[in-house]
A and B are shown apart, each in its own frame.
Chain A
Amino acid sequence: MPTDMPNGLRSGASIAVRDLKVAYGGTRVLHGVSLDFEPGSFTALLGSSGCGKTTLLRALSGFVPVESGAILVGGLDVAPLPPEKRGMAMVFQSYALWPHMSVLQNMGYGLKLRGVPKAQIAAKVGALLSMLGLSGYEDRKVTALSGGQRQRVALGRALAIDPGILLLDEPLSNLDAKIRMVMRHEIRSIQQRLGLTAVHVTHDREEAMTMADRLVIMQAGRVAQVGTPEEVYDRPASAFVANFMGAENVLPLHVARAEGGASVTAGTAMARLAPEAAQALPAGDAVAYFRDDVARLDASDAAAGGDLLVPGTIAARAYPGGVYRYRIEAAGRQITVDDADRHELGTMIGLRIPLQRLHIFPASEAGIAA
């Protein structure tokens, strides 16, 4: 067996991005991004299309020229270096396997460039293939492989050169749902086993949350929030992040500070807040964001009891499984709510919204996302 088995703990390299600006043909795509990637961390770059996440990854890999700023890998600025001198391995969304080469040739390409003897290449590729569950596939044509197998070969090709940094450019988006789940865990466990620094680009929120130690939410070429999945999900820093992380219900509010707390009004509904909870709220017009599972349906004349009880009408109902999903017309808005009980369309109900589970932002800031 080869001595250089890919299962010893290697430490990945650290990356520090400093005020990175990237432009495509005169259009600025990244407006000064600064980020730190710890060695061995798994970071997901998350954002809607056109937010600059792929551009950031391609700037890291050297495929996109940098306008200004630095990319420090282990303290060395690699921004002026060509892609081949950066020590980063990328897994492409399209897999980018070379169709004129066998699996062995694809995976051994990087080693061959480094002058590794043939026998050693074959041994290393064999070890990687068995780790990826593709033992004996060396001489297959890559065009004869399934999507999931191609994805594994692409991952194996990247791992073969023992990179300190693994870049993943939406590697799972072309796979069907079942294989995607398996590959999520596989990539994550390989990354942890090898101690690689991984940067993963995705637009799939769940994928990012389940795979990464840390999320970077990007918006229009800037970093909107950096944090663990829990932080970003539970304490979004902006209306955009709240909305992007699934808090898609929007409710305009008015917050009025008063002696001993604050009062929150939404349409005709009103609730009081204790002083400590009121501290964090912006005064004046505000917008609340919340998820489908936050609100409950209640009788329209139920006691509010500290919650906001907004009167509304059931406009639509669907059964996605487990709970009913309702579209409620309330306070001039369409609000989606999950509830366990079945209600008829057109029923007048009270929408019970617990204040502490709302993400509230000043209306001026929220304007873009509302």
Chain B
Amino acid sequence: MIRLAASARMVLAASLLAAFAFVLIGPILNLALWSVAERWYTPYKLPVTYGTRYWEQVFRPTGDAMASLGTSVWIAVLTVAFALALSIPAGYALARLKLPMRALFMVMFLLPQAFPSVAIYINVARIFYQLGINGTVLAVVLVHTAHGLVFSVWIAAAAFAAVDKDLELAARNMGASPLRAFFTVTLPLAAPGIIASGIFVFLESLDEFTGTFFVGVPQVTTLPLLLYNAAMGGNYQVASITALILLVPSVLFMLFIERFLRADVLAKVGT
């Protein structure tokens, strides 16, 4: 009787696990299948012809895909640089200094997320038109930075808050100037959190679609835009391969978070 209950429980657990795995892996499997399907049409449940033709097309050095991958990475790198240049001082100030309207500042960085993004980006596009920077990499980087700041500032503030103030004071006490103490003690200790926020901003930028669509098209084509064009044009193979490429950095990031980010930093995010 007990044996029966135990095996029933095991079957239940296994089937739940299988369902979870299907939900998680199913879409990715579908993408993988599409990426190697040279011909696939109804009523066939599986592709008719398999092949790597589309992979070759995507990775051909002269192909659109490689160019837009380059654009995407370049934009993401610039976005990370912009976001960190702002969020390191801002995060430090929010964590250490007694700002009178600290909560207001924190919410301010959240604002771009609080409204429907299309409404915001249409207005941004209008302003960028007036400034004459619409359709430039700079415009896209600015939009991505504004979007990424909420994460990078909040995470940086948490990372700095997790560094014991006495550690900084000990450096001052040993003769370090405030700047020196910051660069030799505070920043290295907050680095894992800062790096994580940078990676997060990088991924957000790599993934971003709406803003890029409004301020970048048609001159700037990032990977998500290429994916969109391919999918709209019925080229599911290229769309799938692009999606798979976009997936790689996210997985690496999750591994990094698990490995390096301390729980006490994560706990301080947003406080």
- State the CA gap A157–B174 with chains docked (Å): 8
User: Chain B: interface secondary structure?
Assistant: helix
Structural contact, A100 and B170, CB atoms closer than 8 A: no
Q: Is B113 in contact with chain A by the CB < 8 A criterion?
A: no
User: Chain A: interface secondary structure?
Assistant: loop
Binds B, one of A109-117, A143-151, A231-239: A109-117
Shortest C-beta distance, B92 to chain A (Å), equals 17
A-B contact count (CB 8 A): 58
- Taking CB atoms and an 8 Å cut-off, the chain A residues in 86-113 that contact chain B are 88-90, 92, 94, 96-100, 109-110, 113
Q: Which of B169, B173, B178, B189 counts the most chain A CB atoms within 10 A? A: B173
Structural contact, B189 and A110, CB atoms closer than 8 A: no
Considering only CB atoms and an 8 Å cut-off, how many residues of chain B contact the other chain? 18
Structural contact, B173 and A84, CB atoms closer than 8 A: yes
Residues of chain A within 8 A (CB-CB) of B172 are 62-63, 82-84
User: Which residue from B167, B169, B184, B185 sits with its C-beta under 8 Å from A83?
Assistant: B169
Q: Is A161 in contact with chain B by the CB < 8 A criterion?
A: yes
Q: Is A61 in contact with chain B by the CB < 8 A criterion?
A: yes
User: Given A84-B176, A114-B175, does the pair A92, B170 have CB atoms closer than 8 Å?
Assistant: yes
Chain A contact patch, size range: 20 to 34
Structural contact, B164 and A61, CB atoms closer than 8 A: no
Q: Is B258 in contact with chain A by the CB < 8 A criterion?
A: no
Residues of chain A within 8 A (CB-CB) of B169 are 61, 63, 83, 90, 92, 96
Structural contact, B188 and A161, CB atoms closer than 8 A: no
Residues of chain B within 8 A (CB-CB) of A61 are 169, 173
User: Which residue from A82, A90, A113, A114 sits with its C-beta under 8 Å from B170?
Assistant: A90
Q: Contacts A96-B170, A109-B174, A110-B174 known; list 11 others, CB within 8 Å.
A: A61-B169, A63-B172, A82-B177, A83-B173, A84-B172, A90-B169, A92-B166, A92-B169, A96-B164, A96-B167, A113-B174
- Measured CB to CB, the residues of A under 8 A from B are 61-63, 82-84, 88-90, 92, 94, 96-100, 109-110, 113-114, 157, 161
A-B interface, 6 closest residue pairs, ranked by CB to CB distance from nearest: A110-B174, A96-B170, A96-B166, A83-B172, A84-B175, A90-B173
